[in-house]
Structure 1
Amino acid sequence: MNELIKAEVITIGDEILFGQITDTNTQWIGAQLTDMGIRPSWKTSVGDNKQDILNAFSEASKRVRVVIVTGGLGPTKDDITKYTFCEYFGSELKIHEEALAFITDFFEKRGRAMTALNTQQAALPTNATYIPNRWGTAPGMWFEKDDIIYVSLPGVPYEMKNLMEHEILPRLKERFRGNIIKHKVVKTIGIGESFLAEKISDWEDSLPSHIKLAYLPHFGQVRLRLTATGSDETRLDHELEELVASLLPYIETYVFGFDQDEMETVIGKLLYEQQATMGIAESCTGGFISHRITANSGSSLFFKGAVVSYSNDVKRTQLSVKEETLQAFGAVSEQTAIEMAEGAREALGATFAIATTGIAGPDGGTEEKPVGTIWVACASPSGTKTQLLQLKSSRKINIEMTSSYALNLLRKSIIDHYQALV
């Protein structure tokens, strides 16, 4: 078996550690490296401090073969990555003529004058291999020391991604023709991580040594990620498919999709296949479910519309919820959820309709109906199904989890309805 090449991503910048921007670079880089058979093993975030950056380089050199560094390549004084690389490699900065010509041309084409700071961006460590950046003014850099590759890239995601795709990844592929890493993801909902682990314990224990399982919980869902490492891609694909087939009998009732599937795209496919439509009545989710559905191109083929019935008055006038229902059971009740779903299905002319009503928090709860008490319903040609949720998280998370559970109730209702017709 070929050597498994490990990599580390180092992000540089106080703004990341201060929480002023979100680090999306590491996630993207990790996916690209995995696809080409390099295993991302470490992630390090460092502020704009020379000694901390030097320490990060030194530690990375002890554990990986590839170090990808992003950030700190701008023209201002707080961008110290190049100076730190000089100290780490014992070199010095010098104007790189090709880089200078490129940056000069970059500004001339845009009718902008270069400053001394812009000129200084063409200064590179003398032992760096220059990587032209056709999408900005900060060049990429490639270093090698003690059989370890260090790559320095701008922190701007657009520039970083283009440099990786067009310059860095091809070079890495040429250098390392090592193991293949393949992933297969099984997506579940409606079962907790520990219960899921207990159900598949025997199956998990039988996994071969070159295939690892990870549990990835997220807002009421648990993704099961199988990662296979080897040298034969066809064989790995076959093994993963066989393992998933043997897994499904344990948990099939909780599985809603695989790999890139999202709940809303799975539902869209089911509705499109049956030439059916859907509508939504939202109270506590405030339009979030509608956002999830319409975020996907093609949703107009099956999505009729939605009523965000945040007030009882709108529930009555737009969804035909009875006043006596609201008086007897309250807005947060199974009975109201049923009438909302059935009212939306009728008002919107949809085959299926889902409804949500509850107390997302942090205020509004009572002893009888605490924060997190939420009813969801799905009306279909076969009748109306309901589910009571007792959530314990923040308002934002309660809304996201409710949307997932409501969509899953819709998914199951669609499947049950059309299976009953067969």
Structure 2
Amino acid sequence: MKAIIISVGDELLKGHRVNTNAPFIARELSDIGIPVTRIVACSDDPQAIRDSIVSSLADADLVLMTGGLGPTNDDRTRDAVRELLGRGLVLDEPSFERIAEYFRRRNRPVSDIMKDQAMVIEGSVAIPNTKGTAPGMIIDCAPRFAGRHLVLMPGVPTEMEEMMRLTVIPFFAPLSGAFIRHTPVMTTGIGESLLASMIAEVEDSLPSGTTLAYLPHAVGVSLMVSTSGTDKESVEEENRRVVEAIAAKAGHFVYATSEVTLEEVVVKTLLEKGLTVAVAESCTGGLVGSRLTDVPGSSGCFLEGLVTYSNQAKVRLLGVDPATIEEHGAVSEPVASEMARGCLERSGADIAVATTGIAGPGGSTPEKPVGTVCVGVASKSPDGSVQVEATRLIMYGDRRQNKLRFSEAALRGLLVRLKEMEF
């Protein structure tokens, strides 16, 4: 069973709205073994709607449309579909009662427009709208399109999402006849080309029914391993073997095989080990601390964060030696090391990370170009001694991109050290 998604609305074609509905629908369908082969954006014009439906029903067993079911003049989906299939409209009494009750509670009369909202295409299965007024519809498109189904839903995300979860997915899950397993492989500190070369052997020998997708993003690249088949246990076993093979090849660059962020893994590791963390930031301006404290439960491990942007602040708050700054410059491994050590000692944390760098667009030198960052990590050993290391990296991007990538490098440095610590 294959599906196509059609998103109706001139606002999508003009760039006034981002289509968030289609990705949600595709993920939900994928979970019940129905792959999406095409996503279409369509104008509010009735003929354009009909043309999109006809071409989609020719290529897919299931077509899902969002948008154009409201009470305004530009909501034309229902009538366009009715005319295409040559069917009338009937009142869906449960939907009408929900609408009427909604307005009665607000002491407002039920207008003819609202009653029209409860009209559905003849022969369809009405989809209750628990978050709004207009019901959705599941339509068996026979005889013209035998064996094909068309689903109509509102474009309002909250309404559509509830319809998918409560009605659409339960309706089509028994009909899909397939299972799909998606497993993300989250990486950090490696680019797409290098990652591809490391896992080339695995990629070249993927079993039938398994695909590998590269998902580049602002701070790196992740992978998605997808396996489909008719036997659930075989699908899950094949998927697991491929994921394990990739993780073995990519080694420490893989930080998770589930949909989690790097900061979530860092916080989880800190909590599991019973350790505390503090941060000292210059070029990242508090972004490392912000990402860590975005994670629920981080109060159990995050002690404090200092934004020591100026050289004076580094000296006054972290105890960095002015002579170190004078000799090596603020953006240097020695300064990052002293920042991390000072943060560790003054906060009382078990581990600390520090950042100092050049986010751009100015401030660079031939030896230290824009995108240079030095990350220092300091940690305590069980015997009370302190271990400090600093790394210099060069990123490529604008100021905002560099700050984000600098923070990723800091979190990566924390995770690497945390895995080495024994408590």
TM-score, normalised to structure 2, is: 0.90
Distance 1:48 1:341, change over 3 A: farther
Cα distance in structure 2, aligned partners of 1:142 and 1:48: 20
Mark the runs of 5 or more structure 1 residues left unpaired by the alignment.
none
Cα distance per residue 1:34-80 (max 9 Å; x no partner): 11111122111223333332332222112211111112222222222
In the TM superposition, what are the counterparts of 1:139-158 in structure 2 within 5 Å? Answer: 139-145=135-141, 146=145, 147-158=147-158
Q: Which residue of 2 aligns with 1:383?
A: 387
Q: Is 1:68 matched up with 2:72?
A: no
Q: Does 1:184 align with 2:188?
A: no
Corresponding residue for residue 416 of structure 1: 420
- 8 Å contact kept, 2:210–2:228: yes
* Separation of aligned partners in 1, 2:326 and 2:87: 79
Q: Secondary structure at the match of 1:297?
A: coil
What CA deviation, in whole Å up to 9, does each residue of 1:164-197 have, x standing for no partner?
A: 11111111123x1411001222222222212222
Contact 2:132–2:159 (CA under 8 A) maintained in structure 1: yes
Which amino acid letter does the alignment assign opposite residue 413 of structure 1? Answer: R
State the partner residue of 2:383: none
Distance 1:73 1:324 in 2: 70
Alpha-carbon spacing, 1:317–1:72, altered in 2? closer, same or farther (3 Å): farther
How far 1:309 moved relative to its partner?
2.2
2:400 paired with 1:396: yes
State the AA in 1 paired with 2:391.
Q
- The equivalences for 1:120-159 within 5 A come to 120-145=116-141, 146=145, 147-159=147-159
Q: What value does the CA root-mean-square deviation take over the aligned residues?
A: 2.2
Amino acid at match of 1:235: S
Q: C-alpha distance in 2, partners of 1:192/1:40?
A: 28
Residue deviations 1:104-132, cap 9 Å, x none?
A: 11211233444444333223333543222
SS at match of 1:38: coil
CA separation in 2, counterparts of 1:140 and 1:59? Answer: 21
Q: Which moved more, 1:161-170 or 1:325-334?
A: 325-334
Does the C-alpha gap of structure 1 residues 27 and 362 become closer, same or farther in structure 2, counting only changes over 3 Å? Answer: farther
CA contact (8 A) 2:358 2:370 kept: yes
Question: Secondary structure at the residue paired with 1:357?
Answer: strand
For residue 98 of structure 1, report the CA deviation from its aligned partner.
Answer: 4.1
Partner of 1:224: 223
d(CA) in 2 for partners of 1:17 and 1:285? 37
* Equivalence for 2:26: 30
Q: Which residue of 2 aligns with 1:107?
A: 103
Could you say if the C-alpha distance between residues 330 and 50 of structure 1 is closer, same or farther in structure 2, counting changes exceeding 3 Å? Answer: farther
CA distance in 1, matches of 2:90, 2:240: 53
The 5 A counterparts of 1:215-364 are 215-364=214-363
Output the amino acid matched with 2:272. E
Q: Hey, what does 1:196 align to over in structure 2?
A: 195
In structure 1, distance between residues paired with 2:116 and 2:185: 50
Range moving further from structure 2, 132-141 or 79-88? 79-88
Q: Provide closer, same or farther for how the CA distance between residues 104 and 190 of structure 1 changes in structure 2, counting only shifts above 3 A.
A: same
Partner of 1:173: 173
Change (3 A) 1:143 1:250: same
Give the whole-Å Cα distance in 2 for the aligned partners of 1:206 and 1:332.
45
For 1:393, the aligned partner's letter is G
Distance 2:96 2:402 in 1: 53
Work out whether residues 334 and 390 of structure 2, in 8 Å CA contact, stay in contact via their aligned partners in 1. Answer: no
- The residue correspondences of 1:359-378 to structure 2 (distance < 5 A) are 359-378=358-377
Note the alpha carbon deviations across 1:322-362, whole angstroms, 9 max, x for none.
Answer: 33333333332223222222222122211111112222234
* Distance in 2 (alpha carbons) for counterparts of 1:64 and 1:414: 49
- Matches of 1:120 and 1:364, distance apart in 2: 64
Greater mean deviation of Cα atoms: 386-395 or 300-309: 386-395
CA distance in 2 between partners of 1:339 and 1:51 (Å): 68
d(CA) in 2 for partners of 1:144, 1:19: 33
Aligned to 1:90: 86
Scaled by the length of structure 1, the TM-score of the pair is 0.90
What letter corresponds to residue 394 of structure 1 in structure 2? D
Q: Which amino acid aligns with 1:348?
A: S
Counterpart AA for 1:389: L
Q: What's the counterpart of residue 164 of structure 1?
A: 164
Q: Distance in 1 between matches of 2:42 and 2:309?
A: 45
Q: Distance in 2 between matches of 1:167 and 1:18?
A: 31
**Separation of aligned partners in 1, 2:54 and 2:405:** 42
2:410 corresponds to 1:406:
yes
Unpaired segments of 5 or more residues in structure 2? 381-385
Matches within 5 A, 1:38-77: 38-77=34-73
Instruction: Say if 1:84 and 1:330 are closer, same or farther in 2 by CA, change over 3 A.
Output: farther
Say whether the 8 Å CA contact 1:192–1:220 is kept in structure 2.
no
Q: SS at the partner of 2:377?
A: strand
Instruction: Spell out, residue by residue over 1:392-411, the C-alpha distance to the aligned partner (whole angstroms, 9 max, x if none).
Output: 22333222222222111111
Q: Distance in 1 between matches of 2:365 and 2:113?
A: 61
| In structure 1, distance between residues paired with 2:75 and 2:360 | 43
In 1: Cα distance, 2:361 partner to 2:215 partner: 26
